[in-house]
Amino acid sequence: MPDLAMAAAATRPASDAGASILSVRNLEAWYGESHILHGMNFDVNAGEVVTLLGRNGAGKTTTLKSIMGIIGKRTGSVRFNNQEINPAFSDRIARMGVAFCPEERGIFSSLDVRENLLLPPIVRPGGLSLDQIFDLFPNLKERLASQGTKLSGGEQQMLAIARILRTGARFLMLDEPTEGLAPVIIQQIGHTIAQLKKEGFTILLVEQNFRFASTVADRYYIVEHGKVIDGFANSELRANMDKLHTYLGV
């Protein structure tokens, strides 16, 4: 097996966007008795969009949750902005500038849209203003008084992304933001991610929808059985298509 850290370095695009903002080494995690992550190794550089690809149950979501500090039992090293954040409680990790948008979106039914949007506290200056958010997601502005879960799936996804843009966190982890959405909405989410990248956000994305990922990602890591088994840049995508089909079984 190749040295994964080296593989990661080798696959970094020549025009390196910036220094490593997130560095994951030998990350292992457990749900109760079941061992899910078996030593994840990868890096995310400032300003990049990095996508974790892999089959269902490979450990992609668990990786995001472990970085966020939500998984109770975990070992290994997670360095964010050169600070070790494993182990730390998730509220502290959030306050360091890591924002998480969960797969199930986590819109609160007992809160209206405005309350949902304003719920995550500001952790540092430099977050998007409400006006900027409504520019990105005009739909939300008209539905501010609705109950959070009365929104359509697409609107809920927009709300889930929108609310972490206010906080000033510059590193976003998005877990399958396109799951179950109509193509036109997926397109809109893609535009949003491109826009966020342009504004300097760093994004770690988990996706099943490889076609969507290829429109936004700079680099990919392939996750299998709780490990990163391969990685390549978007520019090397064509050359790696065959391998990718094998990995993802599509």
Partner 1 sequence: MQALYAQLLVGLINGSFYALLSLGLAVIFGMLNIVNFAHGALYMMGAFCAYFLLNIAGIGYWPALVIAPIAVGIFGMLLERTLLKWLAGLDHLYGMLLTFGIALIVQGVFQNYFGSSGLPYAIPDELKGGMNLGFMFLPVYRGWVVVFSLVVCLATWFLIERTRLGAYLRAATENPTLVRAFGINVPRMITLTYGLGVGLAALAGVLSAPINQVRPLMGADLIIVVFAVVVIGGMGSIMGSIITGFALGVIEGLTKYFYPEASNTVVFVLMVLVLLVKPTGLTGRAA
C-beta closer to partner 1: residue 46 or 119: 119
Distance CA 51, CA 232 (A): 10
Q: How far is the CB of 243 from partner 1 (least distance, A)?
A: 34
Alpha carbon distance 16, 66 (integer Å): 26
90 or 208: CB nearest partner 1: 90
Subset of residues 84 to 123 that bind partner 1, contact rule: CB under 8 A: 89-91, 93-95, 100, 102, 106, 108-111, 115, 118-121, 123
Number of residues that bind partner 1 (CB under 8 A): 24
Compute the half-sphere exposure of residue 32: CA atoms within 13 Å on the CB side of its CA.
0
Binding mask 151-180 for partner 1 (x = CB under 8 A): -------------x--x-------------
Long-range contacts of the stretch 6-12 (C-beta < 8 A, 24+):
7/230, 7/231, 8/41, 8/42, 8/43, 8/221, 8/228, 8/231, 9/43, 11/219, 11/231, 11/232, 11/233, 11/236, 12/43, 12/45, 12/219, 12/233
Residue 231 CA to residue 247 CA, distance in Å, equals 11
> Nearer to partner 1 by C-beta: 83 or 246?
83
In angstroms, what is the minimal distance from the CB of 203 to partner 1?
17
Radius of gyration over every alpha carbon of the chain, rounded to an integer in angstroms:
17
Q: Least distance to partner 1 from the beta carbon of 60, Å?
A: 17
Closest CB to partner 1 among residues 17, 160: 160
The contact set with partner 1 (CB under 8 A) reads 68-70, 89-91, 93-95, 100, 102, 106, 108-111, 115, 118-121, 123, 164, 167
